[in-house]
Amino acid sequence: MKKLITLITLIIFSIGAYSQEVSCEDLKNFIEKKGRYYASLSSVVLNSSWLNKVTCYTYEGKNYVVAEIRKNEYSYTTKSYIFCGIPNTNWFGFYHGNDYVDIRKTYGERFHKYIIDYQCNCY
């Protein structure tokens, strides 16, 4: 009987854990609609061969970044990615540069330093 209860509990837990997963596209759409727009950088400002647009939103006190990344340096086709839970200092470091050394770096370098490690746990 004890094993049966344990098995039922595991099945219920695994179903509940699976149902909490969200697609990255759904998460991105939700944040773009329900989040508060904070700031954005376009391709003209970014001057990058791979970053096309980077936009920051806030939702329930957390920062989310939607980045449009070119498929390759010669393509105009982009794919959107979402990054979650970016600390304010990281967004500031990417957007403005935290010090004289950061200011001299490209937006691509700062994106790798401050944003890229915060990919959302979505599929």
What are the φ and ψ backbone dihedral angles of 115, each rounded to 5 degrees? -115, -45
Question: Does residue 88 carry a pLDDT above 80?
Answer: yes
User: Would residue 13 count as lying in a domain?
Assistant: no
Nearby residues of 91 by Cβ (< 8 Å), 6 or more positions away = 38, 39, 56, 63, 65, 114, 115
As to burial, measured by CB atoms within 10 angstroms (0-12 exposed, 13-18 middle, 19+ buried), residue 54 is buried
User: Would residue 72 count as lying in a domain?
Assistant: yes
As to burial, measured by CB atoms within 10 angstroms (0-12 exposed, 13-18 middle, 19+ buried), residue 103 is exposed
Rounded CA-CA distance 66/49 in Å is: 17
- The C-alpha R_g of the chain, in whole angstroms, comes to 19
User: Would residue 26 count as lying in a domain?
Assistant: yes
**pTM for the full model?**
0.80
Domain that holds residue 96: 20-118
User: Would residue 29 count as lying in a domain?
Assistant: yes
**How do residues 48-71 score in pLDDT, each as one tens digit?**
999 999 999 999 999 999 999 999
User: Would residue 96 count as lying in a domain?
Assistant: yes
pLDDT band at 21 (very low <50, low <70, confident <90, very high): confident
**Residues forming a β-bridge with 109:** none
Domain count, the chain: 1
User: Would residue 7 count as lying in a domain?
Assistant: no
User: Would residue 15 count as lying in a domain?
Assistant: no
User: Would residue 60 count as lying in a domain?
Assistant: yes
pLDDT band at 23 (very low <50, low <70, confident <90, very high): very high
Identify whether the C-beta of residue 84 lies closer than 8 Å to the C-beta of residue 75.
no
Residue 89 has a CB neighbour count (10 Å cut-off) of 10
